Every structure is written in structure tokens, then in C-alpha cells.
Chains A and B, each alone.
Chain A
Amino acid sequence: MPGLSGRMSTVIKAKISKLLDRAEDPAETLEYSYQKQIELLQNVKKGIADVVTSKKRLQLQEQKLRDQVVKLDTQARQALAAGNEDLARVALERKNVAQTELQSLDSQIAQLEQQQQQMTESEQKLRAKIEQFRSKKEVIKAQYSAAEAQVRISEAATGVGEEMADVGLAMQRALDKTENMKARADAVQELEAAGTFEDLTALGSGDDDIDRQLKQLSSSSEVESELAKMKAELGTGSSAPAGELGAGGPPAGDAAQAEQAAPSEEHAP
């Protein structure tokens, strides 16, 4: 069968024969091959640990985003109470972005969970094959003449070698995906860092990069309906302490700094 499947088979066989060519003595071939298998098994374990680390990192980020959603919601209410609708709108837009990010983080975490499970299964499968190879190796060494042993070794090594190549491939793909997620997580973190309260108070001084991104990303109708809901809850012309989050005056700046300094204390989930 030429083509797709044929090419994969050829590449794998070439890699296995390269592996076997390293040693000429049958007993040496067996030991070398076994050594390689054990190494791969260790690598798979490291790979699993890597995926778990990435998952934990995303979970941490997820928690931060949840906190941010609560914080932005509060800020929107405060801004609205202070009569600054533009500021409230920006806060809600950011909340909208944060919520969208949260959803994509959720699905990424689920994907990593699946990868972790897949790699764990691969590890078990490889372990079973290695165990089989180990016992076969002892039998071959004990029972066969050098010439016969060579044939049987080659059979066993080809079988286990294919499994090794496949586990290697599965691991590489899982780790590549994990890398992509890490890169994305970093990008989100930058966006998060840029979307601080300081920027909100600086509103009116023109759009920065983040604001433009926000406008593209956020669904304005959702923001408007949330704003309307919030207004209704607060009651228009409420008696909330005006000026606390004023329209960009110096006191508002101070409040922003204070808010930023201690975000975790303020917003228990």
C-alpha cells in the first residue's frame, strides 16, 4: 500500500533498523534495545509531568480570570453609581472579554486532561510491551543459537520498536499542543496585565491597543444589555457616593492605585 500509510510504515522501519544497527552481537542488540525502551518510558513519564504542570498553570490562570470578572463587575457598578456610564461600559467590555477567555481556558484544560489520560494509557501500553520484550529476551538468550536468536530478536525488536516510535509520536503531539496552549496563556496574561484599572481611569485619552482589541472582541449588545440591567438594579440618579470613582480626576487615580494594590482581599469569590 503506497501513499500515506506506506510512507509512515517505511519511516518507522527505517528508524528501527537504525536502532538495531548500533549493535552487532545479538545479546548486545537485546540489551541496547531494552535500554532504549526504558529510556523512552522515563521520557513518557516526564512528558506526563509536563502536561500536568501546564494544566495546573491554566487552572491558576482560570482562577485569576474568575477574580477579574468579579472585580470588573464591581467596578462597573461603582462607576455607574458615580454616574460615569462610559467607565462602566469599558469595565463591562473587559468583563465580557475575560468571560470569553474563561470559556476557552475551560476547554483547554479539558483538552489537557484528555492528553494526560492518553499519555498515561500510552505509558501503560508501552510498559506491557517492554515487560513482554524483557521475558522474551531472556528466553531467546537461553534457548537459541546465535543465528536463530538474531531472527527472533529482530522480530521482537521490530514489534517493540514500532510501539516506541508510536509512543514517541503521541508524546510529541501532546507536548506540541501543550506548548501552543502555554503560548496562548502567556498572551492572555499580557492582555490581562495591560487591562488594569489604571487604563480604565485613563479613558478618554484615546484608544490604546488593548481598547481596540477589546472593542473587536466584546459583543457590544451583551455589554449594553448588562449595562441596562445594572442601571435598573442601581436605580438611576441613585444616592451612591459620587466622586468615589470620578471621571478621571486625581482622587479616582488614587482609588485605582489602592484597588490594584490589594485585589485579592477585596474580591472573595
Chain B
Amino acid sequence: MIVRIATEGQYEVGDSDAPVLEQLDNDAVAACDAGDEQGFLDTFTRLIGFVREKGQPVAEDRLDASDVIFPPPDVSFEEAKAEFSGEGLIPG
């Protein structure tokens, strides 16, 4: 599975690691919904760390689309909340 950390790059993550990622993603979303800033930042930091640790960076000359795209590592709580509504992070 190809995972992109926005503004950083793509990583190839093994399928066996996918459930952990999914869990972390759901936890991050739940913390965000609950307005739990610290909880969100902690979970999101773990998520990004997990991708960097378990994933292999994708070669620069590959043109594959990602299966999932995570927000930038320095995403703020405000931005993360905006991800669920409105325009999101991606510029037009």
C-alpha cells in the first residue's frame, strides 16, 4: 500500500501494517471530533512516526498514485478540524 505524508513524500507500507494505520487514523479523527487537541496531536504524531518507521520511501521516478494521503506532519489542530468540513488543506 502506498501512503503519502503530505508535503513530505510517498512511502510503501506493508499490508500487515495497514490495520495499525487504520486504527491510528480512526483515533486521530475521533480525538479531532471530540475537540481533544492534545489527544489528536499525540495520535497524529504516532501515526506519522509509524509511517516513517515502517514504510519504505518510494523512488522519485515512480508515478504511482497513493492509496491514502495523510495531512502534513506539522498540521495544526485547527487545520485538522477544517479537513472535515470546508475546503480542506489542498490549495485550488
Q: Which A residues fall within an 8 A CB radius of B?
A: 1-9, 11-13, 15, 118, 122, 124-125, 128-129, 131-133, 136, 155-156, 158-160, 162, 165-166, 168-170, 172-173
A-B interface contact total, Cβ < 8 Å = 97
Q: 7 A–B contact pairs at CB < 8 A?
A: A3-B84, A4-B70, A5-B25, A122-B7, A125-B60, A132-B62, A168-B90
Check if B6 sits within 8 Å of A155, measured CB to CB: no
Check if B7 sits within 8 Å of A3, measured CB to CB: no
Most buried by A among B7, B9, B80: B7
Interface check B69, CB cutoff 8 A: yes
Check if A4 sits within 8 Å of B7, measured CB to CB: no
Interface check B36, CB cutoff 8 A: no
Measured CA separation A53–B92 after assembly (Å): 25
Closest chain B CB from A121 CB (angstroms):
9
Binary A-proximity of B49-64 (CB < 8 A = 1, otherwise 0)? 0000000000011111
Check if A132 sits within 8 Å of B61, measured CB to CB: yes
Check if B63 sits within 8 Å of A7, measured CB to CB: no
Contacting residue for A129 out of B7, B63, B83, B92, CB 8 A: B63
Measured CA separation A107–B29 after assembly (Å): 32
Closest chain B CB from A221 CB (angstroms):
33
Contacting residue for B88 out of A8, A132, A133, A168, CB 8 A: A8
- Asked whether A1 and B68 contact (CB < 8 A) given A8-B6, A8-B90, A169-B89, the answer is yes
Check if A12 sits within 8 Å of B90, measured CB to CB: yes
Chain B contacts of A131 at CB under 8 A?
61
Check if A136 sits within 8 Å of B63, measured CB to CB: yes
Check if B63 sits within 8 Å of A155, measured CB to CB: yes
Chain A contacts of B9 at CB under 8 A?
125, 166
- Asked whether A8 and B83 contact (CB < 8 A) given A125-B9, A169-B72, the answer is yes
Measured CA separation A262–B79 after assembly (Å): 48
Q: Which B residues fall within an 8 A CB radius of A?
A: 4, 6-7, 9, 21-22, 25-26, 28-29, 32, 60-72, 74, 80, 83-84, 88-92
- Asked whether A159 and B63 contact (CB < 8 A) given A1-B68, A8-B71, A169-B89, the answer is yes
Provide the main secondary structure of the chain A interface: helix
Check if B72 sits within 8 Å of A173, measured CB to CB: yes
Closest chain A CB from B87 CB (angstroms):
8
- Asked whether A172 and B62 contact (CB < 8 A) given A1-B25, A3-B26, the answer is no
- Asked whether A9 and B71 contact (CB < 8 A) given A1-B25, A3-B28, A132-B61, the answer is no
Chain A contacts of B61 at CB under 8 A?
128-129, 131-132
- Asked whether A169 and B25 contact (CB < 8 A) given A155-B63, A159-B62, the answer is no
Look across to chain A and name the residue whose beta carbon is closest to the beta carbon of B61. A132
Check if B90 sits within 8 Å of A4, measured CB to CB: no
Chain B contacts of A168 at CB under 8 A?
90-91
Check if B71 sits within 8 Å of A4, measured CB to CB: yes
Chain A contacts of B29 at CB under 8 A?
2-4
Chain A contacts of B91 at CB under 8 A?
168-169, 172
Most buried by A among B9, B26, B64, B66: B66
Chain A contacts of B64 at CB under 8 A?
159
Check if B6 sits within 8 Å of A166, measured CB to CB: yes
